[in-house]
Structure 1
Amino acid sequence: MLENDSKTPLINEEQRFRLLIDAVVDYAIYMTDPSGIITSWNSGARRFKGYEEAEILGQHFSRFYTDQDRAAGLPQRALDTAVQEGRFEGEGWRVRKDGTLFWSHVVIDPIIDIQSGTLLGFAKITRDLTDRKMAEETLKQSEQQFRLLVQSVTDYAIYMLDPEGQVTNWNLGAQRIKGYLPVEAIGRHFSMFYTPEDRDAGEPQRALSIAASEGRFEKKGWRMRKDGTRFMAHVVIDAIRSDTGTLLGFAKITRDITDATQAQQALEQAREALFQSQKLQAIGQLTGGIAHDFNNLLTVILGNLEIVRKRMPGEPKLTQLLDNATQGALRGVSLTQRMLAFARRQKLTYESVELSALVQGISGLLQSSLGPSIHIQTRFDEALSPVLADVNQLELAILNLATNARDAMPHGGQIMITADERQGADAAPDKPMAPGRYICLTITDEGEGMDEATLASAVDPFFTTKGVGKGTGLGLSMVHGLAEQLGGRLTLKSRKGVGTTAELWLPVAGDSAPGKAAVEEAAPPVHELKVLVVDDDSLVLTSTRLLIEDLGHRVLCAPSGAQALELYERNLDIDLVITDMAMPQMDGAQLAKLLRDRQPTLPIILATGYAERLEGFAAQLPRLIKPFKQIDLMQIIGQTMK
């Protein structure tokens, strides 16, 4: 035992244990005999549960459990677990004297006579997690009971400090958690348990200062074990004062919460992944909606340009202006197609694709997207076979891979894009490919490269090295998914400080692979029709009416599904209905269903800015994709009415 200075009253070891327990105001600590009969009671227990000592001594501790828990045998199970496993720990509802419930964290440790091995009873620690404001705990046990109680607690490091921070006693929990025997810890300053950086920052002294001035200090932080390993600890330090207010020292409780902290970190990572997914979904919905509205505008522009071209005299300068305006509108069509591809509002369209022509076609977009500090070089084998792919999605995949390469070269550099034919047997043994011919599109950069750990996770959804808010972590996973869907494979090779190579394996298109039709099928002639056109956009409605009237048909217009039904009831001789799909209150599919209920053979065409997924008979209706030209109207009207 250390000698105190003249200002500190001398206390023996037994008194130190009593003062230690008295100073622990954050927990209710009491004892039971081996059968669960309560043999001691403290003020913390009285505060949590409402029973006076005279009322509870001699009673079984199961009275604190709910009726359901008692019926399920939880009290005895807790004691059995403590005996069999050396400790019981759990959380659950407990009952106060007045019948109210409180959520508690409970630890039960068996008290074993060291010499005889006899079970003397149980030490029980309860913490009220429904109310973090602690009240002073007063233990009413014998000096020996306090010693047994503290020494039997192994889940918490419970020990005392003198006013200067020297360790004055040490329990089994402290020995288990921190690895020091009592002889190795007692007499040394408690700052030995702090990390070097916390010691340099003065954290130990600050903790004692706060506890002395405010009565209590509580914090989570990293602490050091004897073997040098670190653990995350929840620490409570309470000041111990005499009746006259003199500071006698500090009671310190430390709990290892490393597992709980790691679980919380995993939860935060899952939340971040969910946020990224929701963000991408919201962007996709927004992009799809914008593209739909943009297609409506392009429908109006292209339709009116066609009407003007037909009715305008053959003035060369005016014709050139109309051609320029039409080309600008068609560029807008290409832009909306890219937006819809990103928003996954388009189905994959398999066609035979010449990779060299595709890369050449988007070279301008690639260069403008990557910036002037990036130099792009291409090299393709002669007579390279076409691949079977979706052009829009493949362009997006190449742009994603090139953008990743650029980001790996913040100071600029060269990106090499090559393609050559390979066999499935040429693939790496650990990533076998199905037999057959493939074109391997390779994008190589001179960037920072990736280590093995990063490379292993590169195609995982939401994995990104670009920092918070600078990437969705879905670029490579989208390319990987596209390659797999097309029957190919995305392979990444990288070395730290050397660069990265992305290989996009795509199957060679067979002789029967679908391709784009070189010539549009001629539209069959159609006699004069009475057509009902429905669209909530007045500009689209007017433009469509003018285009159809120019084809020689009579047109009725309705700005909503309800008004379309009224017009149809007054004009039962309507030959054809062309309705927009996306309308408020009643969409095109709903309108088509109501019209078909009235006239099962009525021809109906759905006009849409993107490919919605429809069910039932609406999925079989012909679709007019916006933006459309007059020839598109002529084609679909002819095909629908034949």
Structure 2
Amino acid sequence: MRSLGKRSIAELDTQGFRANGKPLHLNWRIARRQGLYLAVARDITLYKERQEALEQVSSQLQQSQKMEAVGQLTGGLAHDFNNLLTVITGSLDMLEKRIAQGKYEELSRFVGFARNASERAASLTHRLLAYSRRQPLANSVVNLAMLVQDMRELISRTLTPRIELEVLPPEHAVLCFCDAHQLENAILNLCINARDAMPHGGRLTIEISQTHIESTQDSAILGPGQYAVFRVTDTGTGMPQSVIARAFDPFFTTKPLGSGTGLGLSMVYGFAQQSSGDARIESVMGQGTTVSLFLPLSHDQAITTGVSEPAELGRDLQVDNVSILVVDDEAAIRDLIGEALEEVGYQVTKAGTAAQALQELEQAPDTVLLITDIVLPAGMNGDELAVAALAIRPTLKVLFISGFVGNTVPAIALKSGQTELLQKPFAVNALKSMIQRLLAKG
């Protein structure tokens, strides 16, 4: 009745049962004419049954595709990580053997093998996090043309001599808001893929521009607004539509076994999505491929052009009587961090849970730095621990260490000015350098 007050015809579906007990679905259309109500009912039972059958088949298909993706992901992970673990465990075995034999001159070679493999494993997990959009980003305003100019020599070294590099800069500065580190990784991945698509040489073109998306009709993913566009075009072999449809899938690769992880484009896609942007592929067989990266445009003038490593990295600065509390549920990590810091003079206390950490803080009022994992057992995570610890001791510095931040990048890390985030796995020198910078603040 309310509906007929707003429109001339009301429509609704009802469900009941036939005399034989089978379901009956009716579609009703009702109109009011001169004080009378006219109703027409249409039997849509067969249509509903077919629709339910279609939805069931569609759900089964989606589940099958999901399981195929999971199988591909876990298979690729197992393959790559087993290779890396073989290098690490083999190197440790050889180190143990050479130490027993007294052949110390060969130790550095096996240490190098193990370190290289662990760095590749770290890179693999970071790419997975970028694909799943769980990688914590340090966003800043980046000038795309300046960033590419800084990377030009590095890009040239990755190409073969038969590939010509062409950079088409914009007429005016194009600034985007994103993580400069991750953008550099994405650009390098796109250039390496373009190189591999041109085994006999060709031209790689990098073009920077900007565009305006009017509405969601122009793009199903990008919202209305201004976007910086970064395009990498090659004159290589191109890709068929069947490959383009799966190009962003993790561990999907057309390269020979052992020639690539299949995570390059998936990392680029994940980074773009996490940065509120998008990545698209256009390709013609035999003519080449263009990958376009869309990133939110920025009008801020505070520019970060590149990424540099801290100059003091790798130097041990001796300290005296600076108290640090280390919190991690993994005892080996607590012990390794503790030994590395005690070696240069820090006073270290260790705890396995947030509750133990708060007890230690109460008993050690001279603690100046809390180092904590974000994912902790027993109900309170590292972010909540930091909030409680800062309530007790407002001048405390906090260093978060985590291998998986998820969707909860510590909120206080972004606003308190006395916290930092260091991702696992990390080198001991990187940890010491971060501690030095954090303690020097304020």
**Take 2:248 and 2:58, find their aligned partners in 1: how far apart are those partners?**
13
- The answer on 1:554 being equivalent to 2:341 is no
How far 1:544 moved relative to its partner? Answer: 0.5
How many residues are paired up? 347
Please give the secondary structure, in 1, of the residue aligned with 2:321. Answer: coil
1:503 is aligned to 290
Match of 1:441 among 208, 222, 233: 233
2:409 is aligned to 614
**Take 1:484 and 1:594, find their aligned partners in 2: how far apart are those partners?**
30
**Take 1:600 and 1:502, find their aligned partners in 2: how far apart are those partners?**
54
How far 1:527 moved relative to its partner? Answer: 3.8
How far 1:334 moved relative to its partner? Answer: 2.6
How far 1:326 moved relative to its partner? Answer: 2.9
1:598 is aligned to 392
Matched ranges for 1:19-168 at <5 A: 91-93=14-16, 103-105=23-25
Q: Percent identity?
A: 19
Please give the secondary structure, in 2, of the residue aligned with 1:325. Answer: helix
Q: Residue 341 of structure 1 aligns to which amino acid in structure 2?
A: A
**Take 2:289 and 2:110, find their aligned partners in 1: how far apart are those partners?**
44
1:192 is aligned to none
Match of 1:380 among 164, 169, 172: 164
Deviation digits for residues 575-607 of structure 1, max 9, x if unmatched?
A: 322111112222211221222222222222211
- The answer on 1:331 being equivalent to 2:120 is yes
The answer (yes or no) to whether the contact 1:380–1:419 under 8 Å persists in 2 is yes
Deviation digits for residues 400-425 of structure 1, max 9, x if unmatched?
A: 8899x7xxxxxxx9686731255759
Match of 1:632 among 417, 430, 433: 430
Runs of at least 5 residues in structure 1 that lack an aligned partner in the other structure: 1-70, 73-80, 82-87, 109-123, 130-233, 235-256, 292-312, 364-375, 406-412, 467-471
Q: Residue 386 of structure 2 aligns to which amino acid in structure 1?
A: A
Is the alpha carbon distance of 1:332 and 1:356 closer, same or farther for their aligned partners in structure 2, counting shifts above 3 Å?
Answer: same
Deviation digits for residues 236-263 of structure 1, max 9, x if unmatched?
A: xxxxxxxxxxxxxxxxxxxxx6x97578
Is the alpha carbon distance of 1:511 and 1:442 closer, same or farther for their aligned partners in structure 2, counting shifts above 3 Å?
Answer: farther
Please give the secondary structure, in 2, of the residue aligned with 1:622. Answer: strand
Runs of at least 5 residues in structure 2 that lack an aligned partner in the other structure: 3-8, 29-40, 81-101, 175-179, 211-217, 220-225, 254-261, 295-300
Matched ranges for 1:210-289 at <5 A: 261=50, 265=54, 268-269=57-58, 272-273=61-62, 276=65
Instruction: Tell me the TM-score normalized by structure 2.
Output: 0.57
Q: Residue 393 of structure 2 aligns to which amino acid in structure 1?
A: Q
The answer (yes or no) to whether the contact 1:534–1:558 under 8 Å persists in 2 is yes
**Take 2:428 and 2:421, find their aligned partners in 1: how far apart are those partners?**
15
How far 1:549 moved relative to its partner? Answer: 0.4
**Take 2:55 and 2:188, find their aligned partners in 1: how far apart are those partners?**
36
**Take 2:43 and 2:233, find their aligned partners in 1: how far apart are those partners?**
65
Instruction: Tell me the TM-score normalized by structure 1.
Output: 0.41
The answer (yes or no) to whether the contact 1:356–1:380 under 8 Å persists in 2 is no
Q: Over aligned residues, Cα RMSD in angstroms?
A: 5.8
Q: Residue 440 of structure 1 aligns to which amino acid in structure 2?
A: V
Match of 1:587 among 354, 358, 381: 381
2:203 is aligned to 418
**Take 2:65 and 2:192, find their aligned partners in 1: how far apart are those partners?**
21
The answer (yes or no) to whether the contact 2:132–2:270 under 8 Å persists in 1 is no
Q: Residue 154 of structure 2 aligns to which amino acid in structure 1?
A: A
Match of 1:343 among 132, 140, 144: 132
Match of 1:322 among 111, 114, 121: 111
2:282 is aligned to 492
1:44 is aligned to none
Q: Residue 504 of structure 1 aligns to which amino acid in structure 2?
A: V
Is the alpha carbon distance of 1:605 and 1:488 closer, same or farther for their aligned partners in structure 2, counting shifts above 3 Å?
Answer: closer
Matched ranges for 1:427-506 at <5 A: 440-442=232-234, 444-445=236-237, 449-450=240-241, 458=245, 479=269, 482=272, 490-494=280-284, 498-499=285-286, 501-505=288-292
Is the alpha carbon distance of 1:414 and 1:317 closer, same or farther for their aligned partners in structure 2, counting shifts above 3 Å?
Answer: closer
Please give the secondary structure, in 1, of the residue aligned with 2:133. Answer: coil
Please give the secondary structure, in 1, of the residue aligned with 2:400. Answer: strand
Q: Residue 380 of structure 1 aligns to which amino acid in structure 2?
A: E
The answer (yes or no) to whether the contact 1:528–1:554 under 8 Å persists in 2 is yes
2:307 is aligned to 516
